[in-house]
Structure 1
């Protein structure tokens, strides 16, 4: 059975810039927007805008604008009824000319928390109601490989649905803040090395140690096996042909 992402979770690959697209279901606390791309050597500036509508003239709840002009900085702002607000300027540049980047915009109760290449950069406090945001715009000197918008906190819950960590050595084990619940999404990115045979990703019940979900890509066999282990006993395996040996040694292993 092939995995099909629910509405609003489908990534956008290699969009044409300028890009203007909807954010299905809007944003809420715990939502996150993941961007993977690169900036050219000849860059002057680019912008990522969260729009309160699906038109270029819509109000802008977040204007994220890196500027390379000899006084490298990132400008944050909002625009309402055609009028720009006061600029927040961060005189630091997390992007490098001619280099790739991974950027995450995480929605918190305070504002939009920006992370670039795994490092916290800046939090821009809310000025316009979060509930109005329904569009994403990207313009300027930038190449985008992936846009992925991940749904926010679970209805009635207090926990967001995104957390991140830097590269970890294997085997890796840690707690999931707030635990897992309906609509929570976990993204794991990495590289499958040459000669790899199998990978295991396990969701554990913290008290009993039971394996609630076992995902086991068997690279050389070209299958992904799923299972659970309750009370020390493995259940019946499910398998799907979703991974191919030709993918070994390439970046971008992603588990959704």
Structure 2
């Protein structure tokens, strides 16, 4: 009777799922079945991943799978390979022993193990998991199927990944023990007829699971990241703020750096994306490369910082307009260059009063590629100075951000004195409406974020002039000479030696100025709320 009831309930659940999909996809049976197959694959994929994680943690802590599951359920922590999980398991295990909780009773309980399919993998907001763009990464295996895309009535199955040549062009089965700090750099040449290629971190088990699949697709200009467990592919990750930089007939260098929580991936010396561990990285034993590439080689290193900048990657020295004022006998500061030497056609963006002082920057109309790393002289960013950034907002912007930070590396996380991040609103539809987030990273964590919804002069396709002024107690941000926000110092600005800019803008120039007019009589940018 119980079995019959279970079958009836399962049939009703499947019927309700189909009815919901049928309505959702405009009464299209083919699209509805495609959605249900994709949903079923995601459920199976998550179940397989969770089983592997539980088995790995069981082996690592000499506990049964059921006991590990119960500990994770009680601690309400996500399945991840971070040391945080191991530390938490030990703490909870000691606490359970202290309270006299019987592990044998948990072992004998069928309920705990049967509930594994409903194990809620939570979003990760753990210390150290935050990104340099000020956001938090969500774990990709949450129970959410609303974003499954159905493009046609034909299912795109796992064979899409096993393209053209099933044999690897490069394979290495002696990669050693993996731990945080291990880096693999794969280099080679892309063929002139290349459609796609892949780098796979393979687990040598009966199903040859793929812990990490990196798949550049040149016709589409994006790089897929994914995982395969027991023949089932997970959900693809394709997003990145970095422009696609792989081209037919050129050489490439892709670095994969291992941390306890993620793979960090850089392309040609610039960080491209991070990919959360869906399977334990310690089980990977083989790295292989497939596809339309040649002359492939791999280098394994244990490094202290990431990414490894390749030859040709040269952060730009930020131009300064601090030393071009000459002290005259009468005490006035006048520009070294006369007015008639200035090409004013390139200086329409310049603040009133300093056009004559920045003639050395005539060529700012040329675009600067992103991501942008700009180097500042030591102790150059201090009270009384400002960083002026000129650019143009892209036509369909989502966000961009500016970090005033110490160091050029992505890992370990740099100290960020000021993180400025406008995020453009999609819901309001108002042009120029943005949620402006401000923050700082120090002592190993983000500070409390400040955010404001502002009606700004950031307009799609329009040029802007942004100035970050070092005032007495705060960074003040001016947009087109209007004060829009400020951010009180968490750490002094003189620690900053690098300016990092990324996002949906076209960058034209970055200049360090003194916040004085050429005559030294008034400030260029003045906060109307304070008297100087």
TM-score (ref. length: structure 2):
0.26
Distance 2:224 2:238 in 1: 5
TM alignment of 1:230-245, pairs within 5 A: none
Instruction: Write the deviation string for residues 157-216 of structure 1: whole angstroms up to 9, x where unpaired.
Output: xxx5765244489xxxx9x999xxxxxxxxxxxxxxxxxxxxxxxxxxxxxxxxxxxxxx
Question: Is 1:65 the equivalent of 2:215?
Answer: yes
**1:74-95 Cα deviation digits (max 9, x unpaired):** 1110001111111111375221
Give the aligned partner of residue 146 of structure 1.
297
Contact 1:49 1:137 in 2 (8 A): yes
Q: After TM superposition, which residue ranges in structure 1, 4 or more long, deviate above 3 angstroms?
A: 160-163, 165-169
CA deviation after TM superposition for structure 1 residue 102, in Å: 1.6
Whole-Å separation in 2 of the counterparts to 1:63 and 1:118? 19
Larger RCO of the pair (alpha carbons < 8 Å, separation 6+): 1
Which structure dedicates a bigger proportion of its chain to strand?
A: 1
2:267 maps to 1:116: yes
What is the CA–CA distance in structure 1 between the aligned matches of 2:307 and 2:218, rounded to whole Å? 30
Give the distance between the partners of 2:298 and 2:205, measured in 1 at CA.
17
Structure 2 residue aligned with 1:45, among 196, 206, 222? 196
Shift of 1:17: 4.6
State how many pairs are aligned. Answer: 150
Corresponding residue of 1:90? 239
Structure 2: runs of 5+ lacking an equivalent: 1-166, 317-406, 413-532
CA distance in 2, matches of 1:135, 1:163: 22
How does 1:1-256 map onto structure 2 within 5 Å?
A: 17-53=168-204, 57-69=207-219, 71-90=220-239, 92-151=243-302, 160=304, 164-165=308-309, 166-167=313-314
Distance change >3 Å, CA 87–CA 168, structure 1 → 2: closer
SS of aligned partner of 1:131: helix
Task: Name the structure 1 match of 2:123.
Answer: none
Q: How far has the Cα of 1:37 moved from its partner?
A: 1.0
Structure 1, unaligned runs of 5 or more: 1-15, 153-159, 179-256
Contact 1:107/1:113 (8 A) holds in 2: yes
In 2, the alpha carbon distance for the partners of 1:140 and 1:54 equals: 23
Report how far residue 118 of structure 1 moved: 1.1
1:151–1:161 Cα contact (<8 Å) kept = no
Deviation at 1:72, TM superposition (A): 2.1
Normalised to the residue count of structure 1, the TM-score between the two structures is: 0.51
Q: Which has the higher helix share?
A: 2
Contact 1:35–1:148 at 8 Å: present in 2 too? Answer: yes
| Deviation, structure 1 residue 35 | 1.4
Cα distance, 1:23 vs structure 2: 3.7
8 Å contact 1:35–1:144 — kept in the other structure? no
1:26 Cα deviation after fit? 2.9
